[in-house]
């Protein structure tokens, strides 16, 4: 069995998803930032041109001189943090009136607006605009290389921010998953204190919807274990009680046979020992049968003809019925198939018929049979004996239960428990009613909805 951490697995999955999203977002953010910065610089270029067009020619020449001095200072100081913007002033007839020293050798173009040009292998971003009176044109130039350098630097700063803040969501994912899995740790802690003496259901204050089905299954399992332990304890207690009586009787009779000088009395005592041993043997056989039925996992694929089994069981117990003068009537429909284990179904029917023989009245009647209707099979055994009280019917399936109506009949009280267990593992139902002509007891077993495989 392999173990793994849900928290670690979820964290890795979440981190993988975040990393993939981040990997896609980083280039997108970089190029988006480039585009935004590029547009912003264009706006600044346009605004600069608009401002310059408000100046007269004299001020434009002064601006050109100041630009020359500023450029020389920037070149000396190595100031590369600002754009190198140049300008030219043209008349409408194409005469160059003035220009900044670093402006390119550009021929007059009367069209206003943005354009990107190449002069002597150097790329420029340019914007032209006429003054409000339309006397001359102002054209601004920005080096594309300087512009790209600035754009890439600012865009990379934005992308770097995403890289720096990446550990924060990773930490939040780890803490969030831990917080989300906290109810599972509570359930685990509550389960860790459960044992054979404490099988109470696990009921935490809060339960995640995703864990509800698992918790319901666990509680159902705990309930089943508790019921199983209760049945086991009751079974052990009842079995010990049932075994004590025949063992005590065998011991007494053995002591009588040991000390008795009368051969007839000794022989009778030995016969009683043998009777007690036989009774104890039957009880042990029934206990082993119940243990086998409880513990085994049953899977039936071969259909069994219940009609044939009913006929065979009736024939096998006919002599036992005749010793009490009981007549048996059999009505068995052939080809009443149901998937099952033939030996178990034989035991089931034999126990029912044996009970009717033992608890029915002498010179009475027993009727048994089976009928089949589509996906339904009904099997019954009934007699005309004294029967049982209606309020006792619900206890007939309890192990070791014996009715006070038959105190003189020997038995262990396990026969119907075995029958009920066999019926259960074959997917049937058992019910009780009045027997022949309203007397005695009738036991019906109903099998519904044929399944090729039952487990």
Q: Is the dihedral of CA 92, 98, 100, 105 positive or negative?
A: positive
Tokens at 104, concatenated: 């390119």
Residues 20 and 160 in one domain: yes
- Are residue 141 and residue 157 in the same domain, yes or no? yes
Please give, one letter per residue, the 3-state secondary structure of 46-81.
Answer: HHHHHHHCCCCHHHHHHHHHHHHHHHHHHHHHCCCC
Residues 326 and 288 in one domain: no
**Tokens 């075994």 found at:** 243
Give the pLDDT score at 454.
39
Q: Checking phi first, is residue 437 left (phi over 0); if not, alpha (psi -120 to 50) or beta?
A: left
SS3 content of the chain, % helix, strand, coil (to 5): 55, 20, 25
Residue 190 resides in a domain: no
Position 251 in a domain: yes
Task: Decide: helix, strand or coil at residue 155.
Answer: helix
Per-residue model confidence (pLDDT) at position 228: 75
As for how many domains the chain has, the answer is: 3
pTM as predicted: 0.50
Counting Cβ atoms within 10 Å, is residue 87 exposed (0-12), middle (13-18) or buried (19+)?
buried
Q: Which two tokens stand for residue 219?
A: 């509680």
Secondary structure (3-state) at 228: helix
CA distance linking residue 150 with residue 34, whole number of Å: 9
Let me know whether 312 and 363 are in one domain: yes
CA 242/CA 15 separation, integer angstroms? 66
Calculated CA dihedral for residues 244, 248, 251, 252, nearest 10 degrees: -170
Give me the pLDDT at residue 382, please. Answer: 92
Task: Pick the last residue of a domain from 274, 292, 310.
Answer: 292
Which residues lie across from 443 on neighbouring strands? 381, 432
Are 379 and 436 members of one domain? yes
| Residue 365: strand pairing partners | 327
Quick one: 265 and 309 in the same domain? Answer: no
Q: Residues 217, 328: one domain? A: no
User: What is the rounded distance in angstroms from the CA atom of residue 411 to the CA atom of residue 400?
Assistant: 9
Query: Are residue 16 and residue 161 in the same domain, yes or no?
Result: yes
Quick check: is 178 in a domain?
Answer: no
Q: Which backbone phi and psi does 158 adopt, to 5 degrees? A: -65, -45
In a domain, residue 102? The reply is yes
Q: Which of 306, 418, 427 is nearest to 351 (CA)?
A: 418
The pLDDT value recorded for residue 241 is 64
Query: What is d(CA 263, CA 265) in angstroms, rounded to the nearest whole number?
Result: 5
Query: Are residues 149 and 131 located together in one domain of the fold?
Result: yes
Same domain, 113 and 74: yes
Q: CATH code at 48?
A: 3.30.450.20
Same domain, 149 and 215: no
- What integer pLDDT is reported at residue 67 of this predicted model? 66
Q: How far lies 299's CA from each of 5, 13, 423, in Å?
A: 37, 42, 14
Residue range of the domain that includes 255: 209-292
Q: Which pLDDT score is estimated for 380? A: 92
309 found inside a domain = yes
Give the model's pLDDT for residue 226.
80
Asked if residue 47 is part of any domain, the answer here is yes
Determine, yes or no, domain membership for 179.
no
Please choose, from the candidates 359, 354, 408, 348, the residue with its C-alpha nearest in 3D space to the C-alpha of residue 387.
359
Each residue's pLDDT, cut to its tens digit, for the chain (455 residues) gives 566 677 777 777 777 777 787 777 777 877 887 788 888 888 888 888 888 888 877 787 777 777 655 554 444 443 444 456 788 888 888 888 888 888 888 888 888 999 988 888 888 889 998 888 888 888 999 888 888 887 778 777 776 776 676 677 777 877 887 777 777 778 788 888 877 778 888 888 777 777 778 888 888 888 878 877 777 776 677 667 667 767 887 888 888 888 887 888 888 888 888 877 877 777 777 777 777 777 666 777 788 899 999 999 988 889 888 999 999 899 988 888 888 888 889 989 998 998 888 888 889 999 999 998 877 899 999 998 888 877 777 777 776 666 665 555 566 667 788 888 888 888 889 988 888 888 888 999 998 865 443 33
Question: Is there a single domain that holds both residue 257 and residue 135?
Answer: no
- Please, which residues bridge with residue 434 across strands? 441
* Cα angle 301, 374, 365; round to 5: 90
Q: Residue 253 sits in a domain of what CATH number?
A: 1.10.287.130
Q: Which of 263, 292, 321 is the last residue of a domain?
A: 292
Measure the CA–CA gap between 203 and 215, rounded to whole angstroms. Answer: 9
pLDDT of residue 80: 44
- Helix or strand holding residue 141 (H, E): strand 136-143
Q: How far apart are CA 409 and CA 423, in angstroms?
A: 25
Mapping DSSP to helix (H, G, I), strand (E, B) and coil, where does residue 417 land? Answer: helix
Phi/psi region, residue 240 (left: phi>0; alpha: psi -120 to 50; beta: rest), is alpha
Q: Is residue 110 part of a domain?
A: yes
Last residue of a domain, one of 168, 187, 220: 168
Q: CA-CA distance, 107 to 12, in Å (whole number)? A: 62
Burial of 244 (0-12, 13-18, 19+ CB in 10 A): exposed
């Amino acid at each position: 069995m392999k173990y793994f951490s849900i928290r670690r697995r979820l964290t890795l999955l979440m981190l993988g998803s975040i990393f993939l999203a981040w990997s896609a977002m980083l280039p997108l953010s970089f190029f988006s930032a480039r585009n935004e910065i590029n547009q912003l610089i264009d706006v600044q270029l346009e605004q600069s041109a608009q401002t310059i067009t408000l100046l007269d020619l004299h001020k434009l020449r002064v601006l050109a001189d100041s630009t020359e001095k500023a450029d020389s200072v920037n070149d000396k100081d190595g100031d590369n943090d600002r754009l190198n913007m140049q300008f030219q002033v043209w008349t409408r007839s194409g005469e160059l009136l003035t220009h900044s020293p670093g402006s390119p050798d550009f021929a007059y173009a009367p069209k206003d607006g943005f354009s990107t040009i190449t002069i002597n292998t150097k790329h420029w971003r340019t914007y032209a605009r006429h003054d409000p009176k339309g006397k001359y044109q102002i054209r601004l130039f920005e080096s594309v290389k300087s512009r790209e350098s600035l754009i890439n630097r600012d865009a990379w700063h934005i992308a770097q921010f995403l890289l720096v803040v990446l550990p924060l969501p990773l930490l939040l994912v780890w803490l969030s998953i831990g917080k989300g899995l906290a109810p599972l740790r509570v359930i685990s802690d509550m389960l860790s204190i459960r044992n054979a003496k404490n099988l109470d259901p696990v009921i935490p204050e809060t339960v995640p919807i995703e864990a509800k089905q698992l918790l319901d299954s666990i509680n159902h399992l705990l309930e089943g274990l508790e019921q199983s332990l209760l049945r086991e304890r009751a079974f052990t207690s009842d079995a010990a009680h049932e075994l004590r009586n025949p063992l005590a009787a065998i011991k007494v009779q053995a002591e009588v046979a040991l000390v008795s000088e009368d051969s007839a009395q000794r022989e009778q005592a030995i016969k009683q020992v043998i009777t007690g041993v036989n009774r104890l043997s039957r009880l042990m056989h029934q206990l082993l049968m119940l243990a086998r039925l409880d513990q085994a996992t049953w899977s039936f694929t071969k259909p069994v003809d219940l009609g044939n089994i009913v006929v065979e069981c009736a024939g096998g117990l006919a002599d036992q019925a005749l010793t009490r003068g009981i007549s048996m009537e059999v009505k068995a429909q052939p080809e009443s198939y149901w998937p099952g284990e033939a030996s178990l179904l034989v035991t089931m029917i034999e126990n029912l018929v044996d009970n009717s023989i033992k608890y029915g009245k002498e010179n009475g009647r027993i009727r048994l049979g089976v009928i089949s209707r589509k996906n339904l099979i009904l099997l019954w055994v009934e007699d005309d004996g004294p029967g049982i009280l209606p309020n006792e019917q619900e206890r007939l399936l309890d192990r070791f239960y014996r009715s006070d109506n038959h105190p003189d009949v020997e038995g262990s009280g396990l026969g119907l428990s075995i029958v009920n267990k066999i019926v259960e593992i074959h997917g049937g139902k058992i019910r009780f009613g009045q027997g022949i002509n309203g007397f005695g007891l009738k036991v019906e077993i109903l099998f519904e909805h044929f399944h090729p495989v039952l487990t």
